């Protein structure tokens, strides 16, 4: 049995049952990393001895009969913008080289509490924006893995770890998951704490997870969701039963709203055709919904918020090290410095206006179905691809998941994105599982 390719839920159960040890699993993943890392470049920091030491402690806890968390002994990759007290956090920039935090981010602390093994830090793009790092797509080394959570998506796709965490301010979770052919899930805004995560934009920054199945992303997301007073936008609510509910059969057959969004013509012809065929195959379970004309301004509102916030968040980096920033990031910061306060505040206020239109959609539909990306991962490593099919959902703080159900014209993965109502994450995952099973049986 190839332990490195086991899903997280299965591996956790095998460890609890004493059929494998955490050390066995970590060793298998380290062997996979050793085989592939020189080609893929998914890791910003990896210390095999530290990973094995964590595994030894996990195995000892099991032998002593101590309480076990939901991810006990399971390795997780952590995007290199989450602070880790025992590993450097360099944020994908030479300006933060050698930075060593003294405290774990809330997400990292929750992972440790659940018994997870922090395998290492995965590559991020420069300051989690657009300029790519060293990571390549495991399916084709000449193509981008997407960004900004490049290393997290690639590490899961390559069998280096069964789980990883990332962030999304525009399309930084869903896009790389689609390009790398894995499951990427971004919960409702405010569900997972951003405390001690590199800040870009308070109204937009969201934490998400990568895995090889819906049950795996549900398992880790349920572990991470929770109220945190250190995050001003954290939501105080009961933790949703994601893992249990995603496995249940829907009480009635779900209905999907096929939404093309105002950027539909930016998708490549193959992608447009593939989604129209998929919706046709779903028959009465899917119907096309047209968004009001006001959504034509959504991408510009997102740009104004993001760039103005980048100018504020990275003011020190721009002041002290502009010559060491990429041209694309400098241009975004410079545009952000020119955004008027009135325009910024109007853009932030527009989020709830846009979302009110979706509330009517969700009265009759369980989820929205739409492309995750404009197409397959593009050839070349100079860019990370377009996030435009994620922008509206990120702006509105809605939960989204991409499912590796389709292939592009060149045989590369092509994600199917489902988007849910705010706070209705469990139903979104249950609907996603139904769609996966429906497509598999077609």
DSSP state at residue 191: S
79 catalytically annotated:
yes
The tens digit of pLDDT for each residue in 219-278 reads: 999 999 999 999 999 999 999 999 999 999 999 999 999 999 999 999 999 999 999 999
The number of C-alpha atoms within 13 Å of 38 and in the hemisphere containing its C-beta is 3
172 catalytically annotated:
yes
The answer to whether 74 and 58 are in contact (CB under 8 A) is no
Choosing from 70, 149, 150, 172, the catalytic residue is 172
pLDDT for position 48:
98
Per-residue DSSP letters for 276-320? Answer: HHHHHHHGGGEEE-PPPGGGGGHHHHHHHHHHHHHHHHTHHHHHH
Measured CA to CA, the distance from residue 107 to residue 207 in angstroms comes to 9
Measured CA to CA, the distance from residue 213 to residue 236 in angstroms comes to 28
pLDDT for position 391:
98
The tens digit of pLDDT for each residue in 79-100 reads: 999 999 999 999 999 999 999 9
The answer to whether 158 and 32 are in contact (CB under 8 A) is yes
Q: How many CB atoms lie within 10 A of CB 362?
A: 18
What is the mean predicted confidence (pLDDT) over 55-81?
A: 98
What is the mean predicted confidence (pLDDT) over 364-387?
A: 98
pLDDT for position 150:
98
Choosing from 79, 110, 186, 260, the catalytic residue is 79
Measured CA to CA, the distance from residue 137 to residue 153 in angstroms comes to 9
Choosing from 70, 148, 178, 386, the catalytic residue is 148
Whether the pLDDT of residue 1 is over 70: the answer is no
Question: Can you read off the two tokens belonging to residue 39?
Answer: 């080609």
Domains of the chain: 3-246 (3.90.1300.10), 297-343 (no CATH)
Measured CA to CA, the distance from residue 184 to residue 174 in angstroms comes to 6
Sheet of 183-186: strands edge to edge? Answer: 43-46, 117-122, 75-79, 163-168, 206-211, 183-186, 400-407, 413-419, 367-371, 256-258, 286-288
**Dihedral sign, CA of 315, 319, 320, 321?**
positive
Q: What angle do CA 179, 27, 55 make, to 5 degrees?
A: 105
Does this model's pTM top 0.95?
A: yes
Whether the pLDDT of residue 442 is over 90: the answer is no
The tens digit of pLDDT for each residue in 266-307 reads: 999 999 999 999 999 999 999 999 999 999 999 999 999 999
The tens digit of pLDDT for each residue in 103-116 reads: 999 999 999 999 99
To the nearest whole percent, how much of the chain has pLDDT over 90?
99
Query: Tokens 């602390």 appear where?
Result: 109
Phi, psi of 63, rounded to the nearest 5 degrees: -65, -30
pLDDT for position 256:
98
For residue 130, give the nearest of 370, 301, 303 by alpha carbon. Answer: 303
The tens digit of pLDDT for each residue in 174-201 reads: 999 999 999 999 999 999 999 999 999 9
């Amino acid at each position: 049995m190839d332990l490195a390719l086991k899903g997280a839920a299965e591996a956790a159960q095998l460890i609890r049952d004493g059929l494998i040890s955490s050390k066995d699993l970590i060793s298998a993943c380290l062997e996979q990393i050793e085989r592939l890392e020189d080609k893929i470049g998914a890791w910003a920091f990896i210390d095999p001895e530290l990973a094995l030491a964590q595994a030894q402690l996990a195995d000892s806890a099991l032998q002593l009969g101590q309480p076990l968390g939901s991810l006990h002994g399971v390795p997780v990759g952590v995007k290199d913008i989450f602070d880790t007290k025992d590993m450097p956090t360099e944020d994908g920039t030479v300006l933060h080289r050698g930075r060593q935090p003294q405290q774990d981010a809330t997400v990292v602390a929750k992972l440790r509490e659940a018994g997870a093994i922090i395998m290492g830090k995965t590559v991020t793009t420069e300051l989690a924006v657009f300029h790519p790092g060293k990571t390549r797509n495991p399916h084709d080394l000449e193509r981008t893995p997407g960004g900004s959570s490049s290393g997290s998506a690639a590490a899961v796709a390559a069998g280096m770890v069964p789980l990883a965490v990332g962030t999304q301010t525009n399309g930084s979770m869903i896009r790389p998951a689609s390009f790398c052919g894995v499951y990427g899930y971004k919960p409702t805004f405010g569900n997972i704490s951003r405390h001690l995560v590199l800040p870009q934009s308070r109204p937009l920054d969201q934490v998400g997870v990568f895995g090889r199945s819906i049950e795996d992303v549900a398992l880790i997301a349920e572990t991470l969701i929770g109220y945190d007073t250190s995050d001003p936008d954290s939501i105080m609510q009961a933790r949703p039963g994601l893992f249990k509910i995603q496995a249940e059969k829907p009480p009635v057959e779900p209905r999907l709203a096929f939404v093309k969004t105002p950027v539909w013509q930016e998708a490549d012809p193959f992608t447009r055709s593939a989604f129209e065929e998929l919706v046709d195959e779903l028959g009465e379970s899917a119907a096309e919904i047209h968004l009001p004309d006001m959504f034509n301004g959504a991408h510009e509102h997102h740009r104004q918020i993001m760039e103005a916030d980048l100018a504020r968040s990275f003011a020190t980096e721009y002041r002290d090290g502009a010559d060491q920033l990429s041209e694309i990031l400098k241009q975004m910061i410079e545009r952000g410095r020119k955004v008027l306060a009135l325009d910024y505040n109007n853009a932030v206020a527009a989020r709830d206006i846009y979302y009110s239109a979706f509330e009517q959609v969700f009265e009759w539909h369980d989820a929205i179905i739409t492309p995750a990306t404009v197409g397959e991962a593009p050839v070349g490593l100079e860019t990370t691809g377009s996030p435009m099919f994620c922008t509206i959902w990120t702006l509105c703080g809605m939960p989204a998941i991409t499912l590796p159900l389709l292939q592009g014209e060149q045989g590369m993965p092509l994600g199917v994105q489902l988007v849910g109502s705010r706070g209705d994450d469990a139903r979104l995952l249950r609907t996603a599982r139904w769609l996966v099973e429906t497509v598999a049986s077609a």
